[in-house]
A and B are shown apart, each in its own frame.
Chain A
Amino acid sequence: MPGCCIALRENVGSFCENWGEAGERRNFLASIAAGALFSVGWWCVIDAAARYPDHKDFNHAYHVCGVVATFAMLMVNTVSSGQVRGDLYTDGCIGPYGARIWLFLGLMLSFGSLIGACWILFGAYVINVSVDTHTWPGVAIFLQNLLIFFSSIVYKIGRTEESWN
Chain B
Amino acid sequence: MAGLKALVALAFGATIGLTFLFLACALPQYANWWPFFVVVFYVLSPVPSLIARRVSEDSGGSNPCKEMAYFITTILVVSAFGLPIVLARAPIINPVIQVGPCCLVLAGNVVTFLTIWGFFIIADSDDVEYSMW
Q: Which residues of A contact B (CB under 8 A)?
A: 7-8, 11-12, 14-18, 23-24, 27-28, 30-32, 34-36, 38-40, 43, 46-47, 50-52, 80, 155, 159, 163-165
Q: Which 6 A-B pairs have the closest CB atoms?
A: A35-B74, A43-B82, A39-B78, A31-B70, A14-B124, A50-B90
Interface residues on B, range: 20 to 34
Q: A14-B121, A27-B67 are in contact. Are A163 and B61 (CB under 8 A)?
A: yes
> Distance (Å) between the CB of B50 and the closest chain A CB?
13
Contacts A/B (CB < 8 Å), 25 sampled: A12-B121, A14-B121, A15-B120, A17-B59, A18-B62, A23-B62, A24-B62, A31-B68, A31-B70, A31-B71, A32-B70, A35-B72, A35-B73, A35-B74, A35-B78, A43-B79, A43-B85, A43-B86, A46-B82, A46-B86, A47-B85, A50-B91, A51-B91, A80-B64, A165-B63
> Is the beta-carbon distance between A28 and B62 smaller than 8 angstroms?
yes
How many angstroms from the CA of A30 to the CA of B63 in the assembled complex? Answer: 13
How many angstroms from the CA of A16 to the CA of B79 in the assembled complex? Answer: 22
> Is the beta-carbon distance between B124 and A32 smaller than 8 angstroms?
no
Residues of B contacting A12 in the complex (Cβ-Cβ under 8 angstroms)? 121
Residues of A contacting B33 in the complex (Cβ-Cβ under 8 angstroms)? none
Residues of A contacting B126 in the complex (Cβ-Cβ under 8 angstroms)? 14
How many angstroms from the CA of A80 to the CA of B68 in the assembled complex? Answer: 13
Kindly identify which residue among A11, A50, A163 contacts B125, using a CB–CB cutoff of 8 Å.
Answer: A11
At the interface, yes or no: B132 with Cβ under 8 Å from chain A?
no
How many angstroms from the CA of A49 to the CA of B101 in the assembled complex? Answer: 22
How many angstroms from the CA of A15 to the CA of B70 in the assembled complex? Answer: 11
| Minimum CB distance partner of A23 in chain B | B62
> Distance (Å) between the CB of A78 and the closest chain B CB?
10
How many angstroms from the CA of A7 to the CA of B73 in the assembled complex? Answer: 25
> Is the beta-carbon distance between A155 and B117 smaller than 8 angstroms?
no
At the interface, yes or no: B40 with Cβ under 8 Å from chain A?
no
How many angstroms from the CA of A17 to the CA of B56 in the assembled complex? Answer: 13
> Is the beta-carbon distance between A14 and B60 smaller than 8 angstroms?
no
How many angstroms from the CA of A138 to the CA of B126 in the assembled complex? Answer: 51
| Minimum CB distance partner of B80 in chain A | A39
> Is the beta-carbon distance between B61 and A35 smaller than 8 angstroms?
no
> Is the beta-carbon distance between B89 and A51 smaller than 8 angstroms?
yes
| Minimum CB distance partner of A151 in chain B | B71
Chain A CB within 10 A, most for which of B59, B75, B117: B75
Kindly identify which residue among A27, A36, A38, A50 contacts B62, using a CB–CB cutoff of 8 Å.
Answer: A27
| Minimum CB distance partner of B53 in chain A | A17
> Distance (Å) between the CB of B56 and the closest chain A CB?
9
How many angstroms from the CA of A24 to the CA of B75 in the assembled complex? Answer: 20
> Is the beta-carbon distance between A47 and B90 smaller than 8 angstroms?
yes
How many angstroms from the CA of A31 to the CA of B52 in the assembled complex? Answer: 14
> Is the beta-carbon distance between A15 and B121 smaller than 8 angstroms?
yes
